[in-house]
Each structure stands twice: as structure tokens, then as C-alpha cells.
Structure 1
Amino acid sequence: MKSPTELAQQLTRQWHNNTLRAQRLLTPEPWPLKFVIGKPTATQVLQQAASVQQHIQSWRQVSVGQVVFEHKSYRRLAETVELPSYWQINSPSEWVQACQDAAVRHEFAVLSQLISASDSCMHELLVRERSLWRHKPLNELLDTLVLAGKLTPGCAQGQPLRLLSGYGVDTKFVERHQTLLRRLLDTRFADAASEQGLLNFLDALDEKDHWLLVRPLAEGLLPFQRLRIASTELAQTALPATRILLAENERCEHLLPPLHDCIAVLGAGFDLAWLAGQALEGKQLYYWGDLDTWGLAMLARARQLRPNLQAVMMTQEIFTDYADFAVHEPQRAGRFDLSSLMASEQKLFNHLQQQEKGRLEQEFIPLERVHAEIEEQIT
């Protein structure tokens, strides 16, 4: 026999189960819930009559949901006994009441307001991942939902977050709620905010230093063979070369050939906002990235900032020639604007999406081919 307290504790444990909570709050199928109470044995009825009577009375006092009683016969009793058989819970609000737990009631109240204030695509995230919003002020959570509904890819247009206007929040607000904001944007934009990083997704200038590897490809351009420079400085200070080769990964540094009047900047990844800086005006810009969907997404982003930027070795011919070195791309790039890619690059993007092994990393292209392609294309 289970008491109301025991079943209330079971219901509370179920509230803390992410899968059950999402299933019960987001879909109508599980309702109503029925929980078997259990019936006393003949020995208990005969020898523990007072306890059995107390058990029956405790269930008669339950006012949440519906307690269903049934008559049961026992051989040594002349009359049937009316016993609680199961407890029926008809709705999420009854489930929360039945838990008899203040913390659960508070979470349900907060969650109800968050669900009411958010787009339906965000509901599962909010229900499943309470750690994103628990222990935070409700008014700020509601503001975060409003903000997540307004922000769009590239909306910062290269500005720092602190300079954004029209969103009703400041930089500190975004910092405090960055994880929740990023995950909410993921629900709208197919995980792009997490894949690209929030600042890159918004095209917001990262005012924290991100150090990139700078390597001159010709003697005399810089007093160093290699050095690191913050991307914010690269946006403001012109490098002493007419031609700039931007490489996605640092690992391909050893593949680069000597090249007249050219400096390579390596390892930027999605940190591309600095390309909009005035220091790059008048430069011939080239981009070399991995042959995968992410490499083409970065190329598209770079070309949005610098429309005259030319791609190097990012062709279907290169991919086909070295397809034996291609590997599975663990997670493909989400939706992004393909319009800044050339027709051949868009075709390559679609081709890579269809491949079981659609990722060819830069360093797997042979040295001789890299030298030949760079020397031919960067003129």
C-alpha cells in the first residue's frame, strides 16, 4: 500500500526527470496519469485493521485529482471493504499540486510565465533545461525572451554589443544571460548561434582580445617571422603588404609558400568582424578554409564583409582530387545566407552536404599542390 505522501514524493522525483517533464508538459498524450495505490493483504486487514483504516482515511482526504475506490472481498470478512485503488492526475497543474513541494510549485509558476511569453519553438528548451533559467530574476528572464525574439543573424553589423540600440538591454545584461540567449537563438536558427558563437552569429565586435597568427610570406615585410596580433588591432592597423591571405586554421602554416608582397593571417575561424575595418581598405584579400560546410559558411561570412575577397583552393576539383582524405563532418553548418558565394561555391556546398565524408581539412592537401595553387591564384 502506498500512502499519499509516498506517491507525492514519486511525483516530485518525476518532475525532476527532464524527459518525463517535457513529455507531460508539452504533449497531451500522457494525460490523465494513473498511479496504482496498492491494496492490503488479508493478513493486514485482519491483524492491522487500525493501520488499514488510517490508510483508507488518508486517501479520502486527498483533494487533488481523483482517488478511485473499489470494493474488495476478503474470505474471513462478511462484507466487502472499499479501498483506494488508484490515483488519477488529470493535468499538469494537478501534478504540481500533488507533489506538495514548494520548489516544484515555484518552478511551475515561473515556467508557465516563460512559456506564455515565448515562441513555441523555444518551449522544449525551457521545459527540458531548467538550469538555463532557475535562480534568475523573472523580469530579466522575460526580457531575455523578448531579446531572443528580436535578434537576427548579423544584426550587430560589426558593432560592439554595448553600442546596439533598440533592444532595451545593455552589454552586462547580455553577459549575464549569454548562455540562455544563445540557446534560445539556436531554437530559431538551427543551432547557428552555438555553432558560430554568439558574437560571430550577431556579427558583433568582440572587444576582448582574440589573438591571430600573422606570418609574412616575403622577406622584409615585418621584423618577425611570425607573431600574434589581436583581431581588433588588425581592424585598425594596416599590415605592410598589398596582399593578405586569410587562412581558417593555424595548422596549415607550414604549407604556405614564399610569396611576394603577401602576409598570411591564420586561425581566425569565425572571428571575422575585423575584416570590416578600415585597415583592409585597398588590400587584395584571399581566403583559404577547410573544404566542408563550415569552411564555406566562413567564406560566405568573410565575403559579406569584403565582397571582393577571393577564395583559394575551395573548389569541387580540389575536393574530388583528394576525396580519399575526406572524413565525416560531425555536425554540418546550419542555415546561412548563400548569396555571397559564387555559383560554383554554392554547388560545392550542396555537393558536400550530400557526401557521407564531406570534410577535407586544409592540411591534407599536398604541399606541392598548395604551392602551385597559391602561386597561380594570388598574383
Structure 2
Amino acid sequence: MKTPKEVHTQLTRKFQDKHREWLQVHVAQELHPSFWPLEINLGVPTEQEALRQPDGVLSWVHAWQNWKGAGVLVWGERRWRSLGTQRVPERLLLEGPADVAVWVGESARWARALDRYAALVERWPVLDGVVARYFNVLADYSDVDFTRLIEMLTWISEHPDSNLFPRQLPIAGVDSKWLDGRKALVAELLAHLQSDPQGSRDFFQRCGLRPLPQLMRLRVLDPLLRRQLGGLGDISAPLEQISALSLSVTRVFIVENLQTGLAFDELPGAIVIMRLGYAVDVLGQLPWLANKKCFYWGDLDTHGFAILSRARSYLPELQTLMMDEHTLLSHQSLWGEEKDPHSAMRLPNLSASEQLLYESLKQNRIGQNVRLEQERISWDFAWNAILNISIAG
């Protein structure tokens, strides 16, 4: 016997699983006969079941008698020898998605998504079947945001090679903040509008816009090298310009965090590259790193080792600095919590000892979600380790 509450639970799952498919089919063919009407059998008990639980059956019948909602409730009669003729709810018929949406409290979202889907497909028929994947966009964008999206698609379609920066677009409200989180959506829709559904999803390439230059920041720690650069010691420049530098360096330190790099003192023949995070791919675009002794110093947590593994894809001889168990255990009082550890169980480019420490952090053998941020390490301890490497080199 299914109660209204149980039917609500069933329809909630159904809506979550099928609402995108329903949206596409509903717009294209109104109420598709393969889906609708949706019939839910309410599980009428047998006479023996009714005799075993008369109060339960009575409560079930009353629940449906008092029910008010979308759909058609079909009643039937049962002629039972012991209980006589009883009128019971047999099944619920739902004529379309709108009925299901009413049941699960999604009526306003469904109606809004349906209207917006229809409007987009009417304007750009090629988007039929594509925008159904973005039900939440259709259902939840404010009217202002949805209008901006249409204006963005329209303007880019009319000016596919503007070579403007995004903030130069003559579209009210389309700024960096608005674009954050929407680039993938815009790029995919434009790929279909430009009849290139299998093509690049790079936002700037797809929109014909100019990306902001990728800046790299480094410090020149050797005073003699600084003279070659007109006295510049702290440089932030586009990657292409950094790549073209001719630096006679012998040691390169790559640190995960900015303040760590700023704390470095003078070191002959050395530079420090700062704050790349996971963007260590750029190291592969610096030809002058070849044959240099390079050291990576990141946070002692799973993501620190993941960045190290990624960096070694470009610098196979990259050495680590203070990313060992001794450093970790000797700074236990300064441990923090890594709230979202890296997902991989193994990383491809770690040494045996690094992999063992990574697994210990990943599996909480040392403590629960342990991390040691590099800035927390005593600077006397850290600088001494840096000097020792420099002397050894």
C-alpha cells in the first residue's frame, strides 16, 4: 500500500532522473505517449492482508481520501467475503511532467525551464536537445542573467572574431564576475551555434576573445643577475616574456605560496618562482630551465605531492625541499587540516619515499587529514635547509 508520502518519494526520484529528458521531449512533441500518462499502482491489499492490518488499511484509505494534488486518483471496489464491499484507491494517473512537478514542489522551476527552453529553441533550433542538459540554468537563472546569456550568445554569434578582452564586450552586466562559472556553458552553446559541436570548448577561442596574459612571478636572488636586468629583482610578466629571458642561473626554487617566495634572502645564481599551484604546466615552456638544478617546495599535504608529480612531467629531475616525513613530524604543533584531499591513491612521478608519505597522508596513518603549510615551517629551519642545498650544489 503506497501512501501519498511514499508516492511523493517515488516521484521525487523520478523527477530527478528524468526531468531533462522530459523537458526535451515535451518541448518537441508535447506529451509523448511513451512517457505519459504516468501510472502509479497504489498497491491495493488483498482481503487477507486487510484482515491482518485493518487499522493500517483504514489509515491508508483515509490518507488518499484527504489527499489533494495533481493527477487523477482512480478508485475501485473490492467485494470481500468478510469485509463486504470496500472502495479503495487503485492507481494515480499523472498526465505530464507538470503534474509530477506539482507533486515534488518543482512546479515553478519546471514551468520556467519549459518556457526558456522553448524560447531558446525557437530562436536557435540547433540548440534543441543541447540546452536540456542545463535544466538548472533554465530553471534557476534570474531574468536578468538569462537575458544576459541570450545577449552574449547573440553578440558573439554576430561578432565571432572581435579579439576583444571580455570586459570590452558591449553587453550590460557581462563582467568577469558574471562570466566566472559560465564560460563552459557559453562555449558549449556557441559550439553548436557555430555548427562545430565536436570542436574546442576553450572559452576564448570559441568566443573569438582575447584572454588576459598569463602572468608569472619570480624573484632574482642573485645581485649580479639583477644588474643584467636593470636592477629588477621581483618580476611579474607574461609567460611569453619570462620564457624569452636569458638568465644565467644555476639553481631554481619553485615554491607553492607567495609569501614563502618573498621570504627568500639573496642567493648567488638563484631565482625563486612563486605561486604556480597546479599551473606548473608552464614550467615546460621555460627553455632556460634545462640543465638547471630545480627544487620544488610545496605544502606537505596530498595536493602538494600532486603538484610535485605534475611538475615532474616537465622537469623529470626536479628535487624536493622539506617535503619529507622528518619535516612533517618535527612541526606537529603547526599541523592544519586538509579539508579536501586529492582523490588519487597513487601518483605517477613520485619517488618511493614520497609515495609512501603521500599514502600515509591519504590514508590518515599519521593523523586525520594532516597538512603542514610551507609558511608554518620555522624560517630558521627552512632557510638552513635552503642554504645546505645551495652549498651542496
CA distance in 2, matches of 1:332, 1:91: 47
Shift of 1:85: 8.7
Match of 2:49 in 1: none
**1:304 positional shift:** 0.8
Kindly indicate whether the alpha-carbon contact (under 8 Å) linking 1:256 and 1:370 is maintained by their aligned counterparts in 2. no
Match for 1:326 among 320, 329, 335?
A: 335
The equivalent of 2:236 in structure 1 is 228
| Residue 219 (1) aligns with residue 223 (2) | yes
Q: Name the structure 1 match of 2:291.
A: 282
State the match for 2:24 in structure 1. Answer: none
Distance 1:233 1:36, change over 3 A: farther
Distance across 2 between alignment mates of 1:91 and 1:174: 45
What is the CA–CA distance in structure 1 between the aligned matches of 2:244 and 2:140, rounded to whole Å? 40
Q: What does residue 292 of structure 1 align with?
A: 301
SS of the residue aligned with 1:291?
coil
Alignment of 1:376 onto 2:381: no
Residues 212/174 of structure 1: CA separation in 2 closer, same or farther (3 Å cut): closer
Q: Secondary structure at the match of 1:272?
A: helix
Secondary structure of 2:343's partner?
Answer: coil
Q: Which of these residues, 226, 244, 254, is aligned with residue 246 of structure 1? A: 254
* Match of residue 168 from structure 1: 199
Query: 2: CA distance between counterparts of 1:363 and 1:22?
Result: 47
Equivalent residue number for residue 17 of structure 2:
26
CA contact (8 A) 2:187 2:206 kept: no
What stretches of structure 1 of length at least 5 have no aligned partner? 1-13, 15-19, 40-58, 72-82, 119-124, 148-164, 177-205
Q: Pick closer, same or farther for the CA change 1:276–1:207 going to 2, 3 Å.
A: farther
Secondary structure of residue in 1 paired with 2:360: helix
Q: Which residue of 2 aligns with 1:45?
A: none
Distance in 2 between residues matched to 1:236 and 1:69, nearest whole Å = 81
Tell me the residue number matched to 2:214: 210
Q: How many pairs are equivalent?
A: 272
Q: 1:91 and 1:169, CA in 2 relative to 1: closer, same or farther beyond 3 A?
A: farther
CA deviation after TM superposition for structure 1 residue 296, in Å: 1.0
Distance in 2 separating the partners of 1:236 and 1:70: 83
Q: Quick check: 2:298–2:323 contact (8 Å CA) kept in 1?
A: yes
Higher relative contact order (CA 8 A, sep 6+): 1
Matched residue of 2:317: which SS? coil
Deviation by residue 1:227-268 (Cα, 9 ceiling, x = unmatched):
322334323334331221111101113542432210111111
Q: What SS does structure 2 have at the residue aligned with 1:340? A: coil
Superposed CA deviations along residues 170-203 of structure 1, whole A, max 9, x for unmatched, are 6447767xxxxxxxxxxxxxxxxxxxxxxxxxxx
| Structure-2 residue corresponding to 1:88 | 92
**Which residue of the other structure, out of 377, 383, 389, is the alignment partner of 1:365?**
377
AA matched with 1:213: R
Give 3-state SS (helix, strand or coil) of 1:314's partner.
coil
CA offsets per residue over residues 204-228 of structure 1, 9 Å max, x none? xx96323333212222211123232
The 8 Å contact of residues 299 and 373 in structure 2, kept in 1 or not, is answered as: yes
Say if 1:208 and 1:227 are closer, same or farther in 2 by CA, change over 3 A: same
| CA deviation map 1:333-359 (0-9, x unaligned) | 233861111111111111112131411
What does residue range 108-257 of structure 1 map to in structure 2 within 5 Å? Answer: 113=129, 144=188, 167-169=198-200, 171-172=202-203, 208-222=212-226, 223-257=231-265
Unaligned runs of 5+ in 2: 1-7, 19-39, 43-59, 78-86, 122-126, 154-183
Query: 1:358 is matched by which residue type in structure 2?
Result: V
SS at structure 1 position matched to 2:73 = strand
Task: Tell me the CA shift for residue 319 of structure 1.
Answer: 0.6
1:264 aligns with 2:272: yes
Q: Residue 272 of structure 2 aligns to which amino acid in structure 1?
A: A
Matches within 5 A, 1:40-51: none
1:70 and 1:318, CA in 2 relative to 1: closer, same or farther beyond 3 A?
A: same
Q: 2:337–2:371: 8 Å Cα contact kept in structure 1? A: yes
1:153 paired residue number: none
* Matched-pair contact (CA < 8 Å) for 1:287–1:309: yes
Amino acid at match of 1:209: P
d(CA) in 1 for partners of 2:186, 2:261:
47
TM-score, normalised with respect to structure 1 = 0.56
Deviation at 1:326, TM superposition (A): 0.6
Return the letter of the residue paired with 2:235: L
Offset of residue 21 of structure 1: 5.5
Please report how far the alpha carbon of residue 323 of structure 1 lies from its aligned counterpart in structure 2 after TM superposition.
1.6
* CA distance 1:23–1:368, shift in 2 (3 Å): farther
Q: Is the 8 A contact 1:38 1:85 kept in 2?
A: no
**Contact kept? 1:243, 1:263, Cα under 8 Å:** yes
CA RMSD of aligned residues (A): 5.0
